[in-house]
Chain A
Amino acid sequence: MEVLMSAMIGVLTSIGIYLILRARTFPLVIGLTLLSYAVNLFLFASGRLGVGQPAIVSDSSMGYADPLPQALVLTAIVISFAMTAFVIMLSLKAYAELGTDQVDGRQDEGDAS
Chain B
Amino acid sequence: MSQLAILPILVPLLAGTLLLLTRRWIPLDLRRGLNLSAAFLQLALAALLLSRVETGDILVHALGNWPAPYGIVLVADRLAAWMLLITAALACFALLFAVAKGTDRGSRHFHPLFQLQLFGLNGAFLTGDLFNLFVFFEILLLASYGLLLHGGGAERVRAGLHFVALNLVGSTLFLFAAGTLYGTLGTLNMADLAVAVSRVSEENLGPVRVGGLLLFGVFALKTALFPLHLWLPTTYAATSAAVAALFAIMTKVGAYCLLRVGTLVFGPDAGPLAGLYADWLLPLAVATLILGSLGALAATRLRTQVGYLVLVSVGLLLTALGLSTRSGMGAGLYYLAHTTFATAALFLIAELIANGRGQLSDRLDPGPVIPLAGWLGGLFFVSGLLMTGLPPLSGFVGKLAVLRATLETPIWPWLTAAILGSSLLGIVAVVRSGSLLFLRAEGRAEDPPPVSAPLSNILPILALMGICLALTVWAEPVLKLMTEVGEQLLRPGDYIQAVLAPNAGRASP
Contact = CB atoms under 8 A, between A and B. Distances in A.
Given A39-B176, A75-B135, A83-B168, A90 B149 contact: yes
Interface in A50-92: 68-69, 72, 75-76, 79, 82-83, 86-87, 90-91
Interface residues on B, range: 20 to 34
Contact of A83 (B135, B142, B152, B183): B142
Contacts of A94: 157-158, 161
Given A43-B182, A46-B183, A75-B131, 4 more contacts: A42-B179, A79-B138, A91-B161, A94-B157
Given A35-B169, A83-B171, A98-B154, A103 B178 contact: no
Contacts of A79: 135, 138, 171
Contacts of B138: 79, 83
B425 interface: no
Contacts of B169: 20, 32, 35
Interface in A24-61: 25, 28, 32, 35-36, 38-39, 42-43, 45-48
A97 B135 contact: no
Given A43-B175, A79-B138, A87 B168 contact: yes
Nearest to A95: B157
Contact of A46 (B157, B171, B172, B180): B180
Contact of A35 (B149, B154, B172): B172
Dominant SS among interface residues on chain A? helix
Interface string B135-172: 10010001001000100111001101110110011011
Interface in B259-302: none
Nearest to A71: B131
Contacts, number: 85
11 contacts: A35-B172, A46-B183, A48-B183, A68-B182, A68-B188, A82-B142, A93-B157, A94-B157, A97-B152, A103-B158, A105-B154
B157 A97 contact: yes
Contacts of B131: 72, 75
Nearest to B183: A46
Interface of B: 131, 135, 138, 142, 145, 149, 152-154, 157-158, 160-162, 164-165, 168-169, 171-172, 175-176, 178-180, 182-183, 188
B498 to A, nearest CB: 23
A105 to B, nearest CB: 5
Contacts of B152: 93, 97
Contacts of A91: 161
B176 A25 contact: no
Give the top 9 A-B pairs by smallest Cβ distance, nearest first: A46-B183, A46-B179, A43-B179, A39-B175, A97-B154, A97-B157, A105-B158, A35-B172, A94-B157
A43 B157 contact: no
Contacts of B175: 39, 42-43, 76
A57 B130 CA distance: 25
A58 to B, nearest CB: 19
